[in-house]
């Protein structure tokens, strides 16, 4: 239960901060945000604010989204022949359209839909009360609501409040704002972590920090501030390189070339197996001056970003799914963090926030980075791609991302549970 709560809190905060970035800058650009959702799947709670946004909480705590007017995924499909119920105001303008069988509107007008336009001309035409002898046309209010089949009430999306109606610069900032918020959150959390832990980690070194009592490292003869020059003949230049070699070789005796003070010596270290990866019980070295601590959030964010870029780069030279992780790995890491305490949870959240920011900026269609590429292409061409081409590109991107997520999730299950 503790692990589940930690996972939900960590994942929920990361998603909330990311999506709030998109939400905030969309609002500033005059784009209608029809729904701000935390979680996926069926809704648990929904409330429409005065700003026209439906704030929803959904049952699966594994994501979230911001539905902006005019986006492909924002379509509310109405078809001729559908039965609707309309609520009108004193001026006989439609202020609410009900398409849901789950919701009953008191004093509403039943209508069989013939045609409609909720973007430009704002009207609904149909047969009222089943009378097919006469067509009736209603004007729709600019700020009217529509109740979707699942019961969620959102604003209609006239063209002037749609995403594509905003300036290109505003749309680019809206797309970038999610990852940007993740980087800001990472800096804040890493700063808190630095002060709690007593210093800033140094990853561009082959020197080790503290050695845990009774650990594999201590038993093998490793000491604080020792430099690991090579492991099994492979040169070690930085912390990430050392950790990667250790993690990839659980329960395998490794020959360490170690510089301890002015002495260079050979040690045999056998990493113990933990969640199918090797570990020896050493921590990263730290800088602990006040200046280093105050700048620690930025430093740690840069260090972790560098490590992530190196890992992503290594995928092109030696692809290995073990270098990637999905929700299962996040759950496993949340489990370990919850056992270690609040300091570890904060550090984990900061690290995952950097990961989320960078991954979302990858130039893959359907991710924020892919959308930014399309924005740049629009700026160069002087006009956007056609909706059909953009939809095809997005669908291809969604397919690739989903395929990768399935492979990564299955690999995580195999690693951690079998």
* Residues noted as catalytic: 19
Spatial CA neighbour of 67 closest among 32, 109, 110, 115: 32
Do 285 and 209 contact (CB within 8 A), yes or no? yes
d(CA 118, CA 70): 11
- Beta-bridged to residue 279, according to DSSP, are 272
Contacts of 127 (CB under 8 A, 6+ apart): 111, 112, 114, 134, 135, 136
């Amino acid at each position: 239960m503790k692990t589940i709560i930690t996972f939900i809190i960590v994942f929920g905060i990361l998603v909330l901060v990311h999506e709030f970035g998109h939400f905030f800058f969309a609002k500033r650009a005059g784009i209608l945000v029809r729904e701000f959702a935390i979680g996926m799947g069926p809704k648990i709670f929904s409330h429409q604010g005065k700003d026209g946004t439906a704030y929803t909480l959904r049952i699966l705590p594994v994501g979230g989204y911001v539905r902006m007017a005019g986006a492909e995924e924002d379509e509310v499909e109405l078809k001729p022949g559908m039965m609707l119920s309309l609520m009108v105001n004193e001026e006989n303008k439609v202020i609410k359209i009900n398409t849901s069988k789950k919701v009953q509107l008191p004093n509403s007008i039943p209508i069989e839909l013939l045609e409609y336009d909720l973007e430009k001309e704002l009207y609904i035409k149909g047969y009222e009360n089943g009378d097919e002898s006469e067509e009736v046309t209603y004007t729709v209010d600019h700020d009217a609501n529509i109740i979707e089949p699942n019961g969620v009430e959102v604003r209609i999306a006239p063209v002037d409040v749609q995403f594509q109606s905003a300036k290109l610069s505003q749309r680019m900032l809206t797309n970038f704002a999610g990852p940007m918020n993740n980087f800001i959150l990472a800096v804040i959390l890493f700063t808190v972590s630095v002060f709690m832990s007593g210093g800033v980690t140094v990853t561009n070194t082959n020197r080790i920090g503290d050695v845990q009592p009774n650990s594999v490292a201590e038993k093998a003869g490793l000491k604080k501030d020792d430099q690991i020059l090579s492991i099994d003949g492979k040169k070690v230049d930085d912390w990430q390189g050392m950790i990667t070699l250790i993690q990839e070789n659980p329960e395998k005796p490794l020959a360490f070339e170690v510089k301890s003070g002015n002495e260079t010596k050979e040690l045999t270290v056998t990493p113990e197996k933990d969640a199918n990866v090797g570990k020896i019980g050493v921590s990263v070295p730290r800088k602990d001056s006040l200046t280093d601590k105050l700048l620690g959030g930025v430093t740690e964010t840069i260090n972790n970003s560098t490590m992530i870029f190196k890992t992503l780069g290594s995928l092109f030279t030696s692809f290995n799914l073990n270098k990637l992780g999905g929700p299962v790995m996040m759950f496993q890491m949340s489990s370990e963090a919850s056992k270690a305490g609040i300091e570890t949870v904060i550090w984990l959240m900061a690290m995952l926030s950097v990961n989320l920011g960078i991954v979302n900026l990858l130039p893959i269609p359907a991710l924020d980075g892919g959308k930014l590429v399309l924005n740049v292409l629009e700026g160069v061409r002087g006009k956007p791609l056609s909706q059909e081409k953009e939809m095809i590109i997005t669908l291809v991107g969604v397919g690739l991302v989903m395929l990768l997520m399935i492979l990564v999730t299955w690999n995580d299950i195999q690693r951690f549970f079998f």
